[in-house]
Amino acid sequence: MWDSESESTNYNGVLTLNHAVQTDRFEQRGRSWYVATHIPSDFLVQIGGFSFHLHKSPLLSKSGKMNRIIQESKEIDSKKVILDDLPGGAESFELAAKFCYGIAIDLTSTVIAGLRCAAEYLEMTEEFEEGNLIFKTEAFLNYVVMSSWKDSILVLKSCEKLSPWAENLQIVRRCSESVALKACAGHNRVRWKQTGKQDSSPSRSRVLPDWWCEDISILNIDHFVRVITAIKVKGMRYELIGSAIMHYATKSLPGMIKEGSTGSVEEGASSSNSATATGGDWNCRLHMIIAVNKGDHSSSPQGRCQRMIIESLISIIPSQNDSVSCSFLLRLLRLATMVDVAPALITELEKRVGMQLEQATLADLLIPSYNRSETMYDVDLFQRVLEHFLIQEKMEISSPRRQPMIDKNKGTRGGNDSSAKMKVARLVDGYLTEVSKDKNLSLPKFQVLVEALPESARSCDDGIYRAIDSYLKAHPMLQEHDRRRLCKVMDIQKLSLDACRHAAQNERLPLRVVVQVIFSEQIKLSNTIANTVYKASGEPNYQPIIPNRKTLLEETPQSFQDGWATAKKDITTLKFDVETVKTKYLELQHDIESLQRQYDKITKLKHRSAWSSGWKKLSKITKITTIEDTGIGSQGNTEHTVKTPRRWRNSLS
């Protein structure tokens, strides 16, 4: 083995070693490296397309692996070796080779992990020389890197291409623990950077509690999960962990930033809390890469990468309800359905959304259905989310001792359960109004969503009326009995005056519903007038009519019961009267036609017998004249007198 006197020093991370082979640099010519010395090289190392023309002696003195390789090469008379599997590649081997030649190398946070793995690969242990490369790199990691916040993150970032060596050497674990410890310790106790260019720390007067979220967002998903897991163990507040997760998703996943926003984490949280269920602000629709074919996108490299990130993020979201915003969960759910995330994780996301549904916005709830044969929006997904919300409500009612969920703005979950239900009811009404325009939406699905919430969740049914009217407009061929069945889910008594006026003139509604609307409007007007009169008179015993469709007949006075019963009878009577009038009209028309035929017949007969009637008048006059002549000549022959007129009459006929 090659032997020489050596000595090593370390000044601020600069390693030097003096050997008998005198050189102070390597020279690069294209993709080849040469030692700047007059001694010709006798050994060639090839790594990833780069060639290193070296000498055997320096390598033998430092590396156990190179000892074995050189010994084997002598047996087969070879002066070349290929080390494509060396961790860190040509960059790390260059530094290791310079160390063997005693050339000074600078240790920084960006190269130390690769150099440590390369030293382990080359077996540069203390067995060959005291203070060998493994010892030097380990000392730098433990005493320099682990004491610095940014150096720990940079080393962890550089470990992405060093698996499994960085894992086996515990570099990832140690850096993750270091980052977690400093994040939990606080901004004031962090040593920012030790190596390379010195960075000034942020202004301490303006540091937010989640100051560390931006720095760890540069890590890949595996190392990010390791850091978040370590932070959880050390007791970091769950809302700060959620803030880090949202920030990471915003930077790593396309489609997680809303239009017009800066991508800040607080923007997503505040928008979810302040939004109402109307969904009118369509400027908040998401930028999203929606593939033409869902299967093609989920099987593409980008789709697989997104699926891995989403599945990892779902697994580390804190269990507390308000750790992340509902808007963030819905956007994550949208992407999860697009890239075919595991069904169990999608179910978990749906449960989380259901637990915070009152914080959602309509724009986020309108998740497209990526199967062309189905409806425009994923109505089944929304129905499952709504079911999870109702299950959560029942659990809270049945377990009053449970701590209520905390709302960031109000202190409790929407104030109380009824407030949360009312917010969700407005969301459901807005959602129904949007999806009702889809001609492929079946009536049973629409009706199930309308009836999902209890009646107490809505103080006004104007939203349901708008949704029903929109559905009837989009489905003009709906049968009459289906229209009546659909309108039964709407409480007429809960419609506002404007909605009643519109419904009373709505031709798409069944007649019975229109009559009910008119009667309900009359009751409301009566109550308003009565309230005004009794307040003016100071009458304390007045009780208004209760506008509830189920209790109307039991709670209202008898006069109104009779009025309602009469109104229902009037509907039947009106129908009967219409049929009667129609029958009488047909009979009258038949009589008129008969009279017209008789009149025409009589007119024709008069024209045909005009001359006959004239001759009859003439014969009557002649007969009278003959009788007078007979009276004057009474002395004549009686038989002759009788026969003569008879012959004349016969001649006339």
* pLDDT attached to residue 195: 54
* pLDDT attached to residue 543: 57
Q: Is the pLDDT of residue 246 over 90?
A: yes
- Indicate the pLDDT class of residue 9, thresholds 50, 70 and 90: very low
* C-beta separation of 122 from 131 below 8 A: no
Q: In this predicted model, what pLDDT tens digit does every residue of 607-633 receive, in sequence order? A: 655 545 554 555 555 555 554 454 444
Average pLDDT over residues 42-67: 91
d(CA 51, CA 442): 69
More confident residue, 108 or 260: 108
pTM of the entire predicted model: 0.71
Q: Is the pLDDT of residue 283 over 60?
A: no
Average pLDDT over residues 384-391: 92
Q: Is the pLDDT of residue 266 over 80?
A: no
* pLDDT attached to residue 370: 73
Q: Is the pLDDT of residue 36 over 80?
A: yes
Q: In this predicted model, what pLDDT tens digit does every residue of 214-226 receive, in sequence order? A: 999 999 999 999 9
Nearest to 83 by CA among 71, 100, 95, 69: 69
Q: Is the pLDDT of residue 382 over 90?
A: yes
Percent of the chain at pLDDT above 90? 37
More confident residue, 79 or 166: 166
d(CA 174, CA 153): 11
- Indicate the pLDDT class of residue 638, thresholds 50, 70 and 90: very low
* pLDDT attached to residue 557: 44
C-beta contacts of 494-500 below 8 A and 24+ residues apart? 494/458, 494/459, 494/460, 494/461, 494/547, 495/460, 495/461, 495/462, 495/465, 495/520, 496/460, 496/462, 497/521, 497/524, 498/462, 499/461, 499/462, 499/465, 500/524
Average pLDDT over residues 590-615: 72
* C-beta separation of 467 from 362 below 8 A: no
d(CA 471, CA 446): 9
Average pLDDT over residues 191-201: 52
Q: Is the pLDDT of residue 470 over 70?
A: yes
* C-beta separation of 310 from 332 below 8 A: yes
Kindly tell me the burial class for residue 645, based on how many C-beta atoms sit within 10 Å of its own C-beta (0-12, 13-18, 19 or more): middle
For residue 87, cis peptide bond before it (omega within 30 degrees of 0)? no
* pLDDT attached to residue 191: 61
More confident residue, 642 or 506: 506
Task: Identify the residue whose tokens are 């998903």.
Answer: 221
Q: Is the pLDDT of residue 108 over 60?
A: yes
- Indicate the pLDDT class of residue 534, thresholds 50, 70 and 90: low
- Mode of pairing for the β-strands spanning 105-106 and 14-17: antiparallel
* pLDDT attached to residue 5: 36
Q: In this predicted model, what pLDDT tens digit does every residue of 390-443 receive, in sequence order? A: 998 888 777 655 444 444 444 444 445 678 888 999 999 999 999 999 888 899
Q: What is the mean pLDDT of the chain?
A: 76
